[in-house]
Structure 1
Amino acid sequence: MNNNIEHGQIKIADEVVGIIAGLAATEVPGVAGMSGGLAGGIAEMLGRKNLSKGVKVEVGEKEAAIDLYIIVEYGVKIPDVAWQIQESVKKAIENMTGLNVIEVNIHVQGVNMEKEEKKEDNPLRVK
């Protein structure tokens, strides 16, 4: 049996990579949601159906670069949340697609102050 036989190409759409990144990011504690940009100077929070709109993806043959536009919960340590997002997104994309993620850039677009949580509910909250 010849192991060098090429079966064809697999092309993963940028939007698929964007959805994976958006889902991985929103699962991180301290992330209120993805941002669709600034409307009237205020960050617009996207619903779960529009996650990929808060993500910019550049996909090559074997590599990907991701830019995420997020809204964080009030009181969290933003550098800690950003690091966790980077790790979570990199792991999710590499595991699901086989692409090598070369960078995950985090753009904090706003702070969600609507819901108050108890400090012990969120391990990333500033104490």
Structure 2
Amino acid sequence: METTQIKSTLTYDDKVIEKIVGHALENVGGLLAVTGGFFSNIKNNLVNSASVTDGVSVEVGSKEVAVDLAIIVEYGKDIPAIVESIKAIVSQNVDSMTHLKVVEVNVNVVDIRTKEEHEAASVTVQDRVTSAASNTSQFVSEQTEKLKETVSNTVDSDETAK
């Protein structure tokens, strides 16, 4: 029996590698966020639309990958150690899933925040509007109940007076 050699090519879209990198970074200690820059941040501050690929840029070759990241780190943490963790986890995840070699990880620290500052900055306009709508709805319900009580008491006192 003769075996025929089947030719094939395997390529990865940049978005695929960006997602692998983004998911790999989710549990790096001291890393508060990977940020996508001004317009991405505006979009994310308006609505809850953060993507795992925000702030991740890659160049994918046939056998190698270069990664660029823009990050926000937690105040008081060892930044070079965080970057070493990032390099290790990114390289390991990309290699295990694609067999591509990560040859470069460029990290730009764009901000440093306490956890409290980061949580406060992460509240979106959508969150604020939702909260305001909920509070308004609750207020209207309470006022409606008060009005019903007042009307009921007025009707009762009118009937008693007759």
TM bin, normalised by shorter chain, reads 0.7 to 0.9
Between structures 1 and 2, the one with greater helix share: 2
Question: Structure 1 pair 48/71, CA: closer, same or farther in 2 (3 Å)?
Answer: farther
Aligned ranges 1:19-34 → 2 under 5 Å: 19-34=19-34
Runs (4+) of structure 1 moved beyond 3 Å? 43-49
Identity among equivalent pairs (%): 35
Task: Name which one, 1 or 2, has greater alpha-carbon Rg.
Answer: 2
Name which of structure 1's ranges 8-17 and 80-89 shifts more when overlaid on structure 2. Answer: 8-17
Partners of 1:114 and 1:96 in 2: CA distance: 32
Larger RCO: 1 or 2 (CA < 8 Å, sep 6+): 1
Return the TM-score normalized by structure 2: 0.61
Task: Give the match for residue 10 of structure 1.
Answer: 10
Aligned ranges 1:91-110 → 2 under 5 Å: 91-110=92-111
User: Any gaps of 5 or more consecutive residues in structure 1?
Assistant: 117-127
Task: Give the match for residue 55 of structure 2.
Answer: 54
Task: Give the match for residue 83 of structure 2.
Answer: 82
Between structures 1 and 2, the one with greater strand share: 1
User: Any gaps of 5 or more consecutive residues in structure 2?
Assistant: 118-162
Partners of 1:79 and 1:33 in 2: CA distance: 16
Aligned ranges 1:115-126 → 2 under 5 Å: 115=116
RMSD of Structure 2 on Structure 1 (CA): 2.5
Return the TM-score normalized by structure 1: 0.76
Query: Over residues 6-51 of structure 1, what are the superposed CA-to-partner deviations in whole Å (9 max), with x where a residue is unaligned?
Result: 3422221111100111121231101101111147xxx949678512
Paired residues, number: 112
